[in-house]
């Protein structure tokens, strides 16, 4: 790329007080999230640089039955000065929560985008199908009336957050609001637009930025403006990027060493917690939750759940096409080792053997370890102890 | 007569429709506010465990999950008769402080400001004059030249091909933007709009460090907190909190006082129902509602101009009732949430019939405004004892009125609080209150940890019974009611802040607080009713 072509981007970066070094570091972290080697960093940088010369890519952010938490989460990006430069390469002409326009003017912005097509559709929240779609009304009609066209004409759909992926907590039974994910909605309407699912509640903003780079600037879209096969190949059976959702939290947990040693927190705020012991006994869903939270972390990388002594509740568990796969039905009761087994819509029973409540003693470490390994689907018999790794133990609990 | 509909009302959390009738005298003669989303939280929680409600119920709101989470745990603790340890009280107060600062900064700059500040006007600012003006206004400076360039590049690149992103179809150049507000002040506000994005994130990091992550936090479980502070974490919290507090005191408050004089006409309308409710927030060691640092209280028919209705009653949750005559539910109307039901039943939208997913919640059968204005009024009229170094609501309100009077060259009375302008100003002044309290609370926690005898969690058993958690989110009063039977939730009812403010008409046809605030408001341009959206957004719905 010619030097002068970079000038546009670098003047934008400079206006934010960002150096080229910051920018390349950012490209490096995107490469890591996308599973690309360091040799790809210059290509990412060049792709972003050349995108800065072109008109902004049209995008549409639609809030379904949402709490706005995923929008909020986007405001908590790491290295925000650089990341927002990338996000500014999008023109999000419709974004209810933060857009300047309102009412008909806002609706017109959406209609203009829909007419042109070829935009990236970001969907936040649950698709509300209850009461013939009247569980969510926008501009005087059910949102489900406008959704088929908006989805059909999109180049790609990013489902951000567990609600958008499979309905999230709104889909938890029994709920007359009848929430589903955007992928199920598209299936129901025979819409073939490719969908990238990014669960957790809310979505982790770092993943969204990485996917924007991948889809828009690294050849994720083919010449017809549709998602290329190369990108589809990077997704798992649930439409999630394999690199981000391929390992469990347990795999990468800094407290893992304590798990291996059988050192558990049995009561919140206890001496064991002060030592940063493993939260398995108080219900941590890390072993059966496939996200890279311990690595990417949250809030500009300042923190993550387990570091604050909180057991993972598995908010990243989402099953796009399965009713009842949502993280609440799968994970609750969150402080117990095992889920309640539903007998009917209103009656549940807790598997007795491994039940543990707050403040009570949990089942033996060997037993729980075995259950966790089973839940993660990695083995079918008992669980052999892994060797203690010094490197894990050193990290214990971030203290 | 003209019917004006704003749907969707943007720059709010959630989905809202505002419909008004504008009379021949260009004022609003009637108004209907409709919550257009039903998600069914209360049904989802039924038959689950009280410990799970904390995690799930906070997902009602991605902007104020902390307050919902706290209301939920307090509801369980109330049911069990449990008092949390002092360490947990401090940790929860600090997380809540951080959320208030986060939310108020976000509202003023990211959501509200565009109704008063025109980014296009900022482009004609003289850069040198902007520095002078910032200095004269006592607000912080930024690289104003770079900001102007950035805005100009953004606008030019976007105008060329209709790619103005979130500014597409904005009401640039609207006559309701104060004509005499200098371009330089618009530029200062735009620069601080950009800076505010960093500050809200800094506040969110405090919530993240002590809460696990934000939005949606993890640590304030029933019985206390899972977060055990270390010296390192406390250092981190104090450092970040100090940066946020500096911004509130040295940027947000001066900006408010600099912009307000150009919008004094907004002190003349938008008051609404003039009944104010606060459950109280930020627990003192006694945990009593009226001892909270922003105390609980109810004020009825307040008329500050006439000096009537000044009495503050202690709040009583048994006086809450929810009516559904005009809402899309077929459950019994007029129930107290402790015995409440949620049975959704959509029928066609009809302002003369049923028109909202929101229930008409009432206190003593009266609509109640909730939010920063209510809390500051209760704190002004019935102050509680405050930690050292925390300016009281009265100190802050009196200070602001004096400053504004100086700028306006005329005495601005306390009664100006009961208006659109007053509602906006009260939020920012509350941010200054919380800023003081945040620092005082972190220092108190540091002392608590240094003393060594710490306790963060009270072990307990789940017990059957009924309870309620009464608390305040940044946008207003929040309460979670639960009934526990056999260790499971037999009933879970939430009255969220916005339920109060956007309440539709009740059984008697009395409009809700936002509806009343809209009625009587002037409308300069019925096509682009700036006054309407300002009033609706001033509630931070």
Q: What is the DSSP letter of B449?
A: H
Q: Does B346 touch chain A (CB under 8 A)?
A: yes
Q: For residues B530 and B263, what is the distance between their CA atoms, to the nearest angstrom?
A: 13
The H-or-E segment that residue A46 falls in is helix A41-51
| Superfamily in which the A3-240 domain is placed by CATH | NADH:ubiquinone oxidoreductase-like, 20kDa subunit (3.40.50.700)
Name the residue among B226, B241, B185, B221 with its Cα closest to residue B446.
B241
Q: Determine the Cα–Cα distance for residues A152 and A122; give it in Å rounded to an integer.
A: 13
Maximum pairwise Cα distance, chain A: 69
> Would you state the pLDDT for residue A228?
83
Chain-centroid distance, C-alpha A264: 28
* E strand spans, B217-333: 276-278, 297-299, 320-323
The verdict on B290 touching A (C-beta cutoff 8 Å) is no
Long-range pairs, A185-188, Cβ under 8 A, ≥24: A185/A127, A185/A129, A185/A144, A185/A147, A185/A151, A186/A151, A186/A157, A187/A321
Inter-chain residue contact B200 with A298, CB threshold 8 Å: no
Q: Any residues with CB less than 8 A from the CB of B306 and at least 6 apart, and which?
A: none
* Residue in B40, B215, B236 closest to A175 by CB: B40
Picking from B507, B501, B508, the residue whose alpha carbon sits closest to that of residue B536 is: B501
Q: Pick from A139, A269, A308: which is nearest to B209 by CB? A: A308
Cβ pair B61:A68 closer than 8 A: yes
Distances from the Cα of A10 to the Cα of A13, A46, B161, B409, angstroms? 5, 12, 22, 47
Reported as a single tens digit per residue, the pLDDT across B324-333 is 999 999 999 9
Q: Domain-by-domain residue ranges, chain A?
A: 3-240, 249-398
Instruction: Find the helix or strand (DSSP H, E) in which A128 lies.
Output: strand A127-128
Chain A residue nearest residue B160, CA to CA: A55
Q: Which of B11, B110, B224 is the closest to A269 by Cβ?
A: B224
pLDDT of residue A80: 75
Is B530 within 8 Å of chain A by CB?
A: no
Do B165 and A68 lie within an 8 Å CB cutoff?
Answer: no
A249-A252-A255-A256 Cα dihedral, nearest 10 degrees: 100
Which of A82, A101, A89, A72 minimizes the C-alpha distance to A15?
A82
* Contact: A140, B205; criterion CB under 8 Å: no
What's the pLDDT at A350? 67
**CA B40, CA B492: separation in Å to the nearest integer?**
11
Residue pLDDT tens, chain A, 399 long: 445 556 777 877 887 778 888 889 889 988 888 888 888 899 899 988 888 888 888 999 999 999 999 999 999 987 777 887 788 888 999 999 999 999 999 999 999 999 999 999 999 999 999 999 999 999 999 999 999 999 999 999 999 999 999 999 999 988 889 999 999 999 999 999 999 999 999 999 999 999 988 888 887 877 777 778 888 888 999 999 998 999 999 999 999 999 999 999 999 999 999 999 999 999 999 999 999 999 999 999 999 999 999 999 999 999 999 888 999 999 999 999 887 776 666 666 666 533 443 333 444 444 454 444 445 544 444 344 344 444 443 433 333
For residue B218, give Cα distances in angstroms to A47, A317, B41, B225, B399: 38, 16, 18, 9, 38
Of the candidates B349, B396, B403, the residue with the CA atom closest to the CA atom of residue B377:
B396
Please tell me the predicted confidence (pLDDT) of residue A3.
Answer: 53
DSSP code per residue over B196-239:
HHHHHHHHHHHHHHHHSSSSS-----TTB-S----HHHHHHHHH
Q: How is domain A249-398 classified at the CATH fold level? A: Cytochrome-c3 Hydrogenase; Chain A, domain 2 (4.10.480)
Residue A76 contacts residue B182 (beta carbons within 8 Å): no
DSSP designation for A274: H
Q: Hey, how many other C-beta atoms are within 10 angstroms of the C-beta on A105?
A: 18
Is residue B430 within 8 Å of residue B372, measured between CB atoms?
yes
**B92 touches B284 (CB < 8 A):** no
Q: What is the 3-state secondary structure (H, E, C) of B132-145?
A: HHHHHHCCCCCCHH
Q: Which residues of chain B have pLDDT under 50?
A: none
CA distance A353 to A365: 13
Across the interface, of A107, A137, A310, the residue whose CB is closest to B219 is A310
Contact list in B for residue A15 (CB cut-off 8 A) is 146-147, 149-150, 153
Q: What pLDDT, on the 0 to 100 scale, is given for residue A344?
A: 67
């Amino acid at each position: 790329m010619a030097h002068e072509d970079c000038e546009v981007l670098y003047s934008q970066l400079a206006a934010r007080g960002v150096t080229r070094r910051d920018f390349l570091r950012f490209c490096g972290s995107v490469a890591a999230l996308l599973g690309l080697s360091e040799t790809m960093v210059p290509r990412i940088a060049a792709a972003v640089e050349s995108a800065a010369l072109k008109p902004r890519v049209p995008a549409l952010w639609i809030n379904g039955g949402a709490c706005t938490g995923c929008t909020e989460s986007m405001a908590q990006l790491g290295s925000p000065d650089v990341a927002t430069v990338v996000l500014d390469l999008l023109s999000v002409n419709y974004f209810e929560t933060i857009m300047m326009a309102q009412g008909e003017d806002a609706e017109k912005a959406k209609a203009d985008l829909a007419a042109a097509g070829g935009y990236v559709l970001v969907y936040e929240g649950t698709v509300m199908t209850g009461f013939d779609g009247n569980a969510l009304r926008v501009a005087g009609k059910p949102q489900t009336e406008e959704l088929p066209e908006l989805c059909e004409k999109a180049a790609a759909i990013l489902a951000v957050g567990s609600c958008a992926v499979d309905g999230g907590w709104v889909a938890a039974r029994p709920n007359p609001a009848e929430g589903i994910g955007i992928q199920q909605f598209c299936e129901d309407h025979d819409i073939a637009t490719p969908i990238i699912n990014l669960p957790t509640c809310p979505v982790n903003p770092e993943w969204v930025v990485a996917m924007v780079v991948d889809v828009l600037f690294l050849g994720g879209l083919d010449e017809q403006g549709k998602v290329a096969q190369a990108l589809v190949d990077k997704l798992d059976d649930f439409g999630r990027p394999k690199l981000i959702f391929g390992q469990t939290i347990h795999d990468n947990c800094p407290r893992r060493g304590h798990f291996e040693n059988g050192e558990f927190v049995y009561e919140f705020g206890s001496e064991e917690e002060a030592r940063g012991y493993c939260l398995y006994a108080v219900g941590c869903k890390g072993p059966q939750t496939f996200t890279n939270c311990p690595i990417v972390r949250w809030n500009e990388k300042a923190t993550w759940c387990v570091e604050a002594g909180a057991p993972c509740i598995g908010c990243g568990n989402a099953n796009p096409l399965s009713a009842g796969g949502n993280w609440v039905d799968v994970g609750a009761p969150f402080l117990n080792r095992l889920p309640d087994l539903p007998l009917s819509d209103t009656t549940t029973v807790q598997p007795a053997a491994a039940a543990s409540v707050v403040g009570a003693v949990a089942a033996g470490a060997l037993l729980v370890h075995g259950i966790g390994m089973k839940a993660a689907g990695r083995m079918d018999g008992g669980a052999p102890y892994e060797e203690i790794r010094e490197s894990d133990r050193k990290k214990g609990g971030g203290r | 007569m003209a019917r004006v509909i704003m749907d969707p009302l943007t720059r709010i959390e959630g989905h809202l429709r505002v419909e008004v009738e504008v009379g021949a005298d260009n004022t609003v003669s009637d108004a209907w506010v409709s919550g257009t989303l039903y998600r069914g939280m209360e049904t989802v929680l039924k038959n689950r465990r009280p410990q799970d409600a904390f995690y799930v119920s906070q997902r009602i709101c991605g902007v104020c999950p902390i307050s919902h989470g706290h209301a939920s745990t307090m509801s369980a603790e109330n049911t069990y008769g449990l008092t949390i340890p002092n360490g947990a009280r401090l940790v929860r107060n600090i997380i809540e402080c951080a959320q208030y600062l986060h939310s108020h900064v976000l509202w003023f700059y990211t959501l509200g400001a565009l109704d008063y500040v025109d980014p296009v006007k900022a482009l004609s600012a003289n850069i040198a004059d902007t520095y002078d003006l910032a200095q004269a206004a006592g607000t912080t400076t930024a690289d104003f030249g770079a900001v102007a360039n950035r805005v100009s590049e953004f606008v030019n690149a976007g105008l060329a091909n209709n790619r103005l992103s979130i500014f597409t179809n904005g009401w640039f150049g609207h006559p309701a933007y104060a004509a005499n507000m200098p371009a330089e002040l618009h530029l200062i506000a735009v620069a601080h709009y950009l800076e505010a994005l960093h500050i809200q994130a800094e506040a969110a990091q405090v919530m993240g460090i002590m809460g696990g992550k934000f939005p949606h936090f993890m640590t304030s479980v029933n019985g206390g907190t899972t977060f055990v502070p270390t010296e390192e974490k406390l250092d981190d919290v104090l450092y970040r909190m100090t940066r946020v507090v500096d911004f509130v005191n040295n940027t947000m408050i001066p900006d408010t006082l600099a912009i307000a004089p150009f919008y004094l006409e907004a002190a003349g309308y938008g008051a609404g129902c003039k009944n104010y409710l606060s459950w109280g927030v930020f627990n003192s060691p006694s945990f009593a509602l009226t001892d909270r640092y922003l105390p609980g209280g109810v004020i009825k028919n307040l008329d500050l101009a006439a000096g009537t209705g000044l009495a503050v009653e202690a709040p009583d949750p048994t006086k809450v009732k929810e009516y559904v005559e005009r809402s899309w539910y077929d459950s019994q109307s007029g129930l107290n949430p402790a015995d409440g039901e949620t049975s959704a039943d959509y029928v066609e939208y009809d302002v003369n019939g049923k028109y909202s997913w929101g229930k008409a919640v009432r206190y003593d059968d009266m609509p109640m405004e909730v939010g920063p204005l209510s809390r500051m009024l209760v704190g002004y009229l019935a102050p509680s004892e405050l930690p050292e170094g925390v300016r009281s609501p009265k100190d802050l309100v009196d200070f602001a009125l004096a400053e504004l009077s100086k700028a306006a060259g005329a005495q601005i009375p306390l009664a100006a609080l009961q208006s659109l302008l007053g509602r906006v100003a009260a939020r920012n002044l509350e941010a200054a209150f919380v800023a003081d309290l945040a620092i005082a609370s972190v220092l108190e926690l540091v002392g608590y940890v240094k003393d060594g005898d710490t306790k963060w969690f009270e072990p307990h058993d789940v017990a059957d019974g009924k309870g309620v958690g009464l608390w305040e989110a940044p946008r207003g009063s929040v309460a979670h009611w639960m009934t526990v039977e056999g260790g499971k939730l037999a009933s879970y009812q939430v009255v969220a802040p916005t339920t109060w403010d956007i309440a539709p008409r009740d059984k008697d046809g009395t409009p809700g607080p936002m509806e009343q605030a809209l009625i009587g408001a002037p409308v300069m341009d019925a096509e682009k009713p700036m006054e309407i959206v300002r009033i609706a957004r001033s509630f931070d719905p």
